[in-house]
Amino acid sequence: MINKFWQIYRKINKLPKSVGIEACSLCQLNCRDCYMRKNDPNVIIGNGYLKFENYKNFIRKNPYIKNVELSLAGEIFLNPELYEIIKYSYENNINLTALNGVNFNTVSDKLLEALVKYEFKGITFSIDGVTNETYQIYRQGGNLNNVIENIEKLNFYKEKYKSIYPILQMQYIIFKHNISEIKYIKEFAKKLKIENVYFKEPWNGEIKFNNLDKQTLLEIQSLNMQYKIYDILNNNIPSCYQPFIQPQINYDGRLLGCYCSTYHELNVNVFEKGLKFALNSPRMKFMRQVIEGKENSNNTLDCHWCEFYMEMKKNNKFIDKKQIKFI
């Protein structure tokens, strides 16, 4: 089912049918290594949320857009206009997702019902621990019991409306402190009707998939879920496809290019100048050329700092546009 869902992004013809627009960069939690909570002046995203009016105008002016990914650097459910965004999207045949992640600690009943009623397509819950004690070590200020309660309410509405949407998946960042709970994930996910679980390496490097012991790898394999080793297999490459197939836009309209561009914007505002203009702007074009290996990134421009770019450069293996069949 998730597989089919991802195919939505692959139907593309010249102009992208998908964009990422950050719904809200604000968050109520304080996860230790979150780049948004560190007051780093180099992070250019800022604190704010997508205004319904801007979203509505954007969809009206760009009728070829069919899919919008809303999650990026904050918690989408803190956007006070999210209900209107979800309802409007449904009424205008836009597929909404929050696959980068949500902490799902604070969601009103009205929104929980709207997610089902208006067929929000897919959600990734960031849950790294199956007990509250473990969960709270990283998700500071969060409470796993609230998350569970919200997922149960969501499932109640899914039954009420007899809907498969939203499709539910869970991301588990493997830290030293939660590795012992991997063996309980299968039961946890089944109980909450979560259809897919994938694992992620932590940014601080304390766990590397390559160094996991045999027992843990067996436990991961025993989950028998579709994308259980999602990040190992695709190595996060889709973020470099983003400038081609799902350009990332900040909540205030600034074009970021991809979801890793937290330190550089591309100096053009999509809400002010229009998407077509923005996608053809010099910095955006340059970014696409850089990841195709046709231009060298330098320290004043995008990508040069990014681990994916460094890896591509080291191996002299860049994005081959011809390989992206869905462009």
Cβ-in-10-Å burial (0-12, 13-18, 19+) of 286 comes to middle
**Dist. CA 206–CA 300, nearest whole Å:** 30
Judged by CB under 6 A, the residue of 37, 153, 186, 285 near ligand SF4 is 37
Nearer to ligand SAM, 68 or 73 (CB): 73
Judged by CB under 6 A, the residue of 100, 150, 178, 239 near ligand SAM is 100
| Local structure of 230: helix, strand or coil | helix
Nearest to 99 by CA among 201, 215, 248: 248
- Using CB under 6 A as the binding rule, the residues of this chain from 308 to 327 that contact ligand SF4 are 308-309
Q: 20 - beta bridge partners?
A: 69, 248
**Dist. CA 136–CA 23, nearest whole Å:** 25
**Dist. CA 187–CA 197, nearest whole Å:** 12
**Shortest distance, CB of residue 103 to ligand SF4, whole angstroms?**
4
Asked if 240 interacts with ligand SF4 (CB under 6 A), we say: yes
- Using CB under 6 A as the binding rule, the residues of this chain from 185 to 214 that contact ligand SF4 are none
- Using CB under 6 A as the binding rule, the residues of this chain from 256 to 275 that contact ligand SF4 are 258, 260-261
From the list ligand SAM, ligand SF4, none, which binds 71 (C-beta under 5 to 8 Å, kind-based)?
Answer: ligand SAM
**Phi, psi at residue 164, to the nearest 5°?**
-85, -10
**Shortest distance, CB of residue 280 to ligand SF4, whole angstroms?**
17
Nearest to 24 by CA among 271, 258, 251, 247: 251
Judged by CB under 6 A, the residue of 12, 24, 27, 148 near ligand SAM is 27
Asked if 20 interacts with ligand SAM (CB under 6 A), we say: no
**Shortest distance, CB of residue 187 to ligand SAM, whole angstroms?**
22
Site string for ligand SAM, 186-205 (x = CB under 6 A): --------------x-xx--
Say if CB 104 and CB 150 are below 8 A apart: yes
From the list ligand SF4, ligand SAM, none, which binds 260 (C-beta under 5 to 8 Å, kind-based)?
Answer: ligand SF4
Q: Where are the beta strands (DSSP E) in the chain?
A: 18-21, 67-69, 95-102, 122-126, 167-173, 196-200, 248-249, 255-257
**Shortest distance, CB of residue 185 to ligand SF4, whole angstroms?**
19
**Dist. CA 66–CA 300, nearest whole Å:** 33
Asked if 73 interacts with ligand SAM (CB under 6 A), we say: yes
Say if CB 22 and CB 250 are below 8 A apart: yes
Asked if 31 interacts with ligand SAM (CB under 6 A), we say: yes
**Shortest distance, CB of residue 321 to ligand SAM, whole angstroms?**
27
**Dist. CA 164–CA 181, nearest whole Å:** 28
Residues near ligand SAM, by CB under 6 A: 27, 31, 33-34, 36, 71, 73-75, 100-103, 126, 171, 173, 200, 202-203
Residues near ligand SF4, by CB under 6 A: 27, 29-31, 34, 36-37, 74-75, 103, 239-240, 243, 258, 260-261, 291, 302-303, 306, 308-309
